């Protein structure tokens, strides 16, 4: 990492602090490839992670300065600085704009006959969104050793996701020479859909992101959509072939950096006693039935509902599979304070109950839904599946499609949506589905279950090779390399 300080900014940090029953401060750590990759880079460079305070304890720590945190095994320690934001402004920025506008926009989630309908409330929430982005930018600009602070612009700022789309331009106004990368973990809406946003908002969104030197995406399709969308911005000129946008007298480079999974970390967690116990409980429920698994957040774009409809169609079309295959949905609760999410989860549970009613024989129902944040049990289920269903309507990457095959021990097949970013790396080893095609998804599950074991094994090997080809460090290293190249060229 050539000694450059890496400074990460994201809404949700890699760690959040709470008090346990005995009043002790305990850390709740985020898992996954992104946290591993970024904390590895931070430990190596003595950098920091700036994130919004999520808990009371985080808010208290925000007042006492950066907190030293132990990274994942072997990665050393790094520092987190929490930002205590005014609660009402935070709510408007997080729920009002990030979750209800930008998430819906970039995952094509609106039923456009009715929604969205931008009103005075949206305008107010947008002001809060801008204000929170400016607070992040101001904190980033204050980092000791930043441009103008004695180190001559040696920081590399890695700004994450749709929550902070305006932060790059805001930081650029404060520190014109800063090296800034912005990464979208989500898909990016194409120009027609982006045009749903009122003109001022979409222009501010694009211009905000283009304050970075490098704008990164998980998959080539999202980078193409972003480049196409930039044509909506007056004054921007797009070179789609070279993936460059000229705007405001600067050149911005657009890149594709697929995030990977921490395979060693996964192996360690999967070997835990908790995972082993969950594996035994799963075996007891399954008996000798084969397993179709899905593991997702309770998230609209994950397409859980059509997954149950497809499983119902599978059992309807294939009487020979009844009683011989079961479906397990591990659903990690997420954003259930939004009414759309609660209503959707209710619909999913009703669909699952209908499958059980229609095809349940004896004590063991064909569908089991577990709504819990139970990572060890999810890892155990990955080892045991025969078919992993990953059918999001739209998804920036989808790490389940990488974690599952890495951990699977049964030559399980992957049924994968063509609209998941992971499809560009894994698609040729998976059974492809169009996520809106319920009958097609049922047929894909049937094909996966019927596939000869030699072919399943060959595909699983291919999936594992693809997972190994994208280690998390590479994601950071390539962005930092492109940031250097962009700055050398200016």
Please say which residue, 164 or 383, places its beta carbon nearer to ligand G6P.
164
Please say which residue, 12 or 250, places its beta carbon nearer to ligand G6P.
12
Q: Which residue is nearest to ligand G6P (CB)?
A: 185
186 binds ligand G6P, rule: CB under 6 A: yes
Count other C-beta atoms under 10 Å from residue 265's C-beta: 19
Residue 52 CB, nearest distance to ligand G6P (Å)? Answer: 10
Q: How many positions of this chain bind ligand G6P (CB under 6 A)?
A: 6
Q: Which residue has the tokens 């024989």?
A: 361
Residue 477 CB, nearest distance to ligand G6P (Å)? Answer: 21
Residue 163 CB, nearest distance to ligand G6P (Å)? Answer: 7
> Of residues 143, 161, 204, 213, which one binds ligand G6P by CB under 6 A?
161
In angstroms, the first-to-last Cα distance of the chain is: 21
Tokens of 346: 């209710």
Q: H-helix or E-strand containing 433?
A: strand 431-433
Tokens of 26: 């305990």
Please say which residue, 334 or 424, places its beta carbon nearer to ligand G6P.
334
Tell me the H-state helices in 191-303.
191-194, 199-209, 220-230, 263-270, 273-286
Residue 186 CB, nearest distance to ligand G6P (Å)? Answer: 6
Please say which residue, 103 or 359, places its beta carbon nearer to ligand G6P.
103
Residue 296 CB, nearest distance to ligand G6P (Å)? Answer: 11
Please say which residue, 12 or 458, places its beta carbon nearer to ligand G6P.
12
Q: Which of 344-349's residues contact partners 24+ apart within 8 Å by CB, and which partners?
A: 344/298, 344/300, 344/304, 344/305, 345/298, 345/371, 347/305, 348/298, 348/304, 348/305, 348/308
Tokens of 304: 């859980």
Residues 6+ apart with CB under 8 A from 160: 8, 9, 10, 11, 182, 183, 185
Is residue 116 within 8 A of residue 104, CB to CB? The reply is yes
Positions 10 through 29 that interact with ligand G6P (CB under 6 A):
12
Is residue 388 within 8 A of residue 413, CB to CB? The reply is yes
Task: Give the strands of the sheet with 67-70, arranged side by side.
Answer: 67-70, 77-83, 48-52, 6-10, 156-160, 179-183, 214-217, 250-256, 244-247, 237-239
434 binds ligand G6P, rule: CB under 6 A: no
Please say which residue, 9 or 178, places its beta carbon nearer to ligand G6P.
9
Please say which residue, 39 or 292, places its beta carbon nearer to ligand G6P.
39
> Of residues 175, 179, 185, 456, which one binds ligand G6P by CB under 6 A?
185
**Site track 333-362 with ligand G6P (rule: CB under 6 A), x = hit:** -xx---------------------------
Residue 397 CB, nearest distance to ligand G6P (Å)? Answer: 9
Under DSSP, is residue 117 helix (H, G, I), strand (E, B) or coil? coil
Residue 255 CB, nearest distance to ligand G6P (Å)? Answer: 17
Please say which residue, 30 or 440, places its beta carbon nearer to ligand G6P.
30
Residue 185 CB, nearest distance to ligand G6P (Å)? Answer: 4
Residue 357 CB, nearest distance to ligand G6P (Å)? Answer: 33
Q: Which residue has the tokens 């059509």?
A: 306
Residue 248 CB, nearest distance to ligand G6P (Å)? Answer: 27
Q: Which residue has the tokens 């497809």?
A: 310
95 binds ligand G6P, rule: CB under 6 A: no
Residue 266 CB, nearest distance to ligand G6P (Å)? Answer: 17
Please say which residue, 99 or 253, places its beta carbon nearer to ligand G6P.
99
Please say which residue, 98 or 253, places its beta carbon nearer to ligand G6P.
98
Count other C-beta atoms under 10 Å from residue 186's C-beta: 21
Residues in the chain, how many?
490
From CA 444, how far away is CA 389, in angstroms rounded? 10
Candidates 195, 251, 199; CA nearest to 225 is: 195
Is residue 242 within 8 A of residue 346, CB to CB? The reply is no
Please say which residue, 122 or 186, places its beta carbon nearer to ligand G6P.
186
HSE-CB for 187 with a 13 A CA cutoff? 27
Contact residues: ligand G6P, CB under 6 A: 12, 161, 185-186, 334-335
């Amino acid at each position: 990492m050539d000694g450059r300080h890496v400074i990460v900014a994201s809404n949700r940090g890699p760690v959040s602090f709470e008090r346990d029953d005995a009043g002790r401060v305990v850390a709740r750590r985020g898992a996954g490839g992104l946290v591993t990759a970024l904390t590895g880079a931070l430990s190596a460079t003595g950098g920091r992670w700036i994130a919004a305070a999520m808990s009371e304890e985080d808010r208290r720590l925000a007042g006492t300065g950066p907190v030293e945190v132990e990274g994942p095994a072997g990665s050393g320690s790094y520092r987190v600085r929490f930002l205590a934001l005014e609660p009402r402004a935070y709510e408007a920025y997080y729920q009002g704009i990030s979750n209800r506008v930008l998430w819906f926009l970039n995952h094509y989630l609106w039923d456009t006959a009715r929604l969205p309908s931008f009103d005075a409330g949206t305008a107010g929430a947008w002001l809060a969104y801008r204000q929170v982005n400016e607070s992040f930018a101001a904190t980033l600009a204050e980092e000791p050793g930043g441009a103008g602070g004695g180190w001559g612009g040696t920081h590399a700022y890695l700004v994450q996701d749709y929550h902070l789309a305006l932060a790059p331009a805001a930081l650029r106004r404060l520190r014109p020479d800063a090296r800034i990368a912005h990464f979208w973990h989500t898909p990016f809406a194409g120009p027609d859909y982006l045009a749903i946003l009122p003109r001022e908002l979409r222009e501010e969104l694009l211009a905000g992101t283009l304050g970075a030197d490098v704008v990164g995406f998980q998959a080539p399709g999202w980078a193409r959509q972003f480049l196409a969308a930039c044509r909506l911005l007056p004054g921007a000129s797009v070179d789609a072939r070279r993936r460059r946008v000229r705007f405001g007298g600067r050149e911005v480079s657009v890149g594709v950096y697929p995030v990977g999974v921490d395979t060693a970390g996964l192996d360690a967690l999967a070997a835990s006693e908790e995972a082993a116990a969950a594996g035994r409980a799963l075996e007891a429920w399954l008996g000798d039935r084969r397993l179709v698994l899905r593991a997702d957040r309770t998230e609209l774009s994950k397409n859980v509902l059509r997954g149950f409809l497809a499983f119902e169609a599978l059992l309807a079309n294939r009487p020979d599979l009844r009683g011989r295959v079961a479906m397990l949905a591990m659903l990690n609760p997420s954003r259930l304070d939004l009414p759309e999410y609660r209503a959707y989860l209710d619909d999913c549970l009703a669909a699952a109950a209908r499958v059980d009613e229609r095809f349940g024989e004896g004590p063991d129902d064909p569908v089991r839904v577990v709504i819990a944040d139970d990572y060890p049990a999810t890892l155990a289920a990955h080892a045991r599946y025969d078919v992993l269903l990953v059918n999001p309507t739209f998804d920036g990457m989808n790490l389940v499609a990488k974690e599952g095959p890495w951990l699977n021990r049964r030559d399980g097949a992957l049924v994968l949506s063509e609209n998941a970013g992971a499809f560009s790396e894994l698609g040729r080893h998976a059974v492809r589905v169009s996520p809106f095609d319920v009958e097609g998804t049922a047929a894909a599950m049937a094909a996966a279950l019927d596939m000869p074991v030699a072919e399943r094994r060959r595909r699983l090997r291919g999936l594992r090779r693809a997972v190994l080809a994208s280690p998390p460090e590479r994601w950071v290293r390539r962005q930092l390399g492109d940031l250097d190249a962009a700055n050398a060229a200016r």
